[in-house]
Every structure is written in C-alpha cells, then in structure tokens.
Structure 1
Amino acid sequence: MDKQLDALFGRVEAALTTLIDSIAKYNPSEKLADDLAHADRALAQGLRELEQHQANHARIQQLRAETAALDAQTKDVAGSLWATRKEVDNTPTTTYPADSPRYPFTIADLLGFARRISRNTLPPPGVTNGLDLSAPPTQQSEVTMDGTATPGASFTSGVGTPGGGATAAPTPDAMVSQATVASSVPEMPMELRHAVNPGEGAVFIPWPTEDKIRSGALAEYQRLVERGMDPKGYDPEEEEQRKRDEEQAKKEAEERARLEHEEAERRMQEERARMARERERARQEAERRGSVAEPVGQKKSQFSFIDMDDEDDDE
C-alpha cells in the first residue's frame, strides 16, 4: 500500500512539475492539465483505499482481541467445568439401604424446586444488610450471621464473578479517588434514606422466616398429620367441598326437623279443635234431648258427660 501511494504521489508531482514548466515557458498545454487532474483523482482514490485499509486493520485488531478474550474465557469455563467435574467425581455418594423408600423425580421437578427457593439465594435490590454505602470502601463492614460486623468486607464479594470467587481488591489510587468522591458528596439525611430506598439497613437472611414456614405447605402437612389425616392424596378443594356438603346437609336436616315440628304442631292443633267441636256438638245434642224430654214447668237435674269432659279439660 505504501508503494502504491508513493507512485501516486510521484505521478501527481511529475504532472505538476511538467505543467509548471510549460507555463514558465509560456507554452501551457491542456493535455498536461488533464494529466494533473487524472493524477489528483487517482491520488484521492488511493487515499480513500488507505482509509478503508486502516479501518479494516483496526477492525481486524479488535476482532483478534475479542477472539483472544473469548478464547481465554472459554479456557476458564472449560477449566472450571473440569474442576467441577473432578470435584463431583471425588464427592462421596450416599448409599441407602435396599429396602429404603425411593422417590422418583424429574429434571422439571428439580428446576421447579430451584425456582421456588431462588428468592432466598440472593438479597433483593436495595437491601444493604446494614452496610453504610455512602462511606469509603475501607470503612464498609459486612454483617455476619451472629450479628457482628466484619470491617473491610464487600457486600458483593463472591457474587456476580465467574466461578463464585471474590472480586479483585481495589488499587490504592482507586481507593483514594473513591474516598475523595465519597467525602465530597453530601450525606443524605436519615429520614430521606428510607424514602429513597425502602430496603436501607434491612438485613437479608438466606432462609425463610418462622412465620413463612408456619404458613407454608410443610406446616399444613404437619397439621394434617396431627389431625390424623394422610397428606398423600389430600386435596384442599375436595376437603372444602366436603365441608360445604356437610354444612348443606346439616342445614337441610335442621330445616326438615323444623318443618316436621311445625307439621306436628299443626296436626295437634287441628286435633284439639276437632275434639272441641265434637264436645260442643255433644253438649248441644244433650241439651236438645233434655229440653224435649223434660215436662213443661218441671226442671229435673240430669247427669251429663259434658260436665266430666269439662272437668277433664280443667285438669
């Protein structure tokens, strides 16, 4: 490419010199001017090709760097896989008795279990575990399980790095610059921190709390066992439907008992009314017979069953 550009520059220089000489001799030529124009256009085309060549060269260098980085990453991943494979192979397996119960499972079951416990593996966004993120990195501390603080520990150490390793330690210059920036930024008032970040100062615990456990499926299984029910095959919807059916049957039985009681009361009242009417007819019939048989002007006492019925009713 350099030789081509040198030849193009030499052509332009020769055409320009020839044209200048012809003008100096008072004998200008259009052909020499055309040669200079053609040489200039050829030089411009060569410069454009040089620019494209340099761009392609830069792109090739970039692709080579990306290829090298990807090769290194591939080697790291392959090394991690190999180390993990060796660790898995060297991990002692658990041997269960032949008569122990076996529970078949599938990959979908494992993925579903991992999905359900994933919310307990990493803290949600905004949770700082009690760290003061406005302080310089050297003053940060990590809250451990026993409630103590570990100075100089980073909250994100070991998270988001390949292989789960800790992040690289910052250089002294970076630490000084970060401390300068942190000291120059005014500290946010405490009453505004929770308004901006509701998780400020919250502590992340990588397991469910007691109230969540008590409201979960395992606690429900335990309650079923304590009630003498087998959790296997237990269907909450069927149990709820059974309870609704029992309540409905109980209401229907109570309604039938109420209707039967009302019917018995009605029949008893009708029977009492019928007996009262019969007694009234018998009394009237007795009075009628007595009035017919008694002579005019005489009044004779007569025994009647009506008096006995009245006495019985009074009793």
Structure 2
Amino acid sequence: MRAIQFHQFGSPDELFIGEFPTPEPSEYQIRIRVKATALNRADLLQREGRYPPPAGESPILGLEIAGEVEKLGSKVQKWKIGDRVCGLLASGGYAEYAVIHEDMAMPIPNNLDFVAAAAIPEAFLTAFQALVWIAKLQAGESILIHAGASGVGTAALQLARLIGAKAYVTASAEKHAICKSLGAEHCIDYKTEDFAQRIQILTEGRGVDVVLDFLGASYLEGNLQALGMDGRMALLAVMGGAQATGINLGMVLMKRLKIQGSTLRARTLDYKTALTHAFVEMAWAHFASGQLFPVVDCVFPWDNVAEAHLYMEANRNQGKIVLSLQPLIYSGKPSG
C-alpha cells in the first residue's frame, strides 16, 4: 500500500508518500480501505520526534480514519465487507489501509460522508472523555473551553450545549463567530484580554465549574483563578509548557479544586472501547439528526500533506483539517 512517511524527524518537508507493508488484521480486527483521515497536533509532534507511537503500534502518522471495511479478522462478528466506519487509532491513519479492533469502529451515519466522518473520532472522543468522564459536567453548570475553535474545542462546545451547560471560550477574535454559532455564551480574545478576569466579571465572581485546558503551565494560574468552588479542570496537553513556577496552590485548597490530566492515545484497549461505546450511546443519534456535527475547516488531497501540516502549525484552522484519499470536488480553504 501507499502511506505518508517521513525521511527523518523534522519539518513538513520531510513527509512523502511511499510504499509500506499493508497491515493484516488480527482475529478481532477489521481492515479499512481509508477514504479520509484528519490531522491532530500529535501528528506534528510525532513528525518532529517528540511524541512516538505506543510500543507495538504502526510508525505511520494518523490517529483517526473513515473508510470501508475491506477485510475481516477470523473472529470478527460486528461488521461485514463494505460497511462504512470511522474510528480512533493509536497510529497508522495516513495510509491507504489501516486496521482497527472491531469494538473501536463506529458506523458512519447515513447523512455524513467520509470527510465529515474522519473529523469525528479524535475530537469528539477526546472532548467526551474530558467533559463527561473526567470533569463530569452537568446541566446548569458552566465551563471554560480554551482553544474553542480547535477540533476538540468545537466538539466540546457542542457536547456542552447537548449536556445543558453554559460555555465560555478563549479564541482569537477572528474565530469568535464560529464559537458563538456552536453555542458559546461568551468569547474571550486571549490575545488582548485576561481570561481569568473576564470570567470573574461574566460569572459575577462565582467562577466556572469546569475548565478544559491544553496549555498547561502558561494558563495554570489563570485557570485556578477562573474556577469556582469545587471546580474541576481537565488538562489534556501542555502546549504552553510543563513546568509551572510561582503558582499559589492555596487556591486549590480554599476552592476545593480537582485537577486531572489525561491522554487518550496510550490508554488500554479496554478503556478506549468502553469510552467509544459510551460516546456512541450518548451521541450517535444526535449526529444522525444533525444536532451534533464535525466542524471541518478545510480538506487537502493527501499528497498535499506537507501543506496541511504547515496550515495547522500556523494555527489557522477553525475546526478539523482533513486529508482525503479520494478525488476532491473541492479542497477547502486556500492555503496561501
């Protein structure tokens, strides 16, 4: 098969499409003929040599796929050849074929094409894990979502709305419109405003119940200030640094705060299948009805993968960036 690979760790220029052994499904796996995959920050980090795949997983980039079932493992019972599925991978998505455990695959709703379906797994499963399993967000509560226009941010906004929570977001000013369209109560321009101060004003000093953060050290003090009594923070990345100094931990004590970090890629198969099943049970009917939907910023032909990586590195996207392995009628936003 053909797959996107890289000559050595480094810039997007190292990426190329070349021959790679086609994976064979184990007894409980299905092999997917990939029609589309989507970019994630983890792909950029892996390309740079800073986020290797879990032991035993494919060295190929790509954490999510959409396509058709092409081959069944000997004990697979849930799928048949030709079924349209999408799913979360530990790696291997940037390829013509990928294998996935049958319990990790999700049926693509009839109203979604492969491009849209490829934008669901990582963003929505990550957001679902953070909001429902970690933070236990409830109806009537409030949440501050950082990077509100990112893939996970746009998914989290929709899930918060579905739960019945009030959502505040941080995003650059040009991305506020999409956040509001997805249900954000207020948008805070992180470039010109102090988000912690704005949250105190917007909530009349109560603070928010939940914070969803990807920045880490650079936002920690502000997050502690923004949280109200018994607040919870889900930390999913440390894009703003992993080492925090000069933080007043007295706020954690006085407000009875809970801070939990989590990654999804290295979780056990049992955990990820349980998460997938819980997510499908809660949300899948809402995708079919259109109440939930993946936000796709742009679509690149997969042989333009270097351009797609540069686009993400420039932080230009509002929603997901998708790579299509099929001929495109359109290719999304211009990348110039």
TM-score normalised to structure 2 length: 0.17
Q: Which has the higher contact order (CA 8 A, sep 6+)?
A: 2
Structure with bigger strand share is 2
TM-score normalised to structure 1 length: 0.18
Structure with bigger helix share is 1
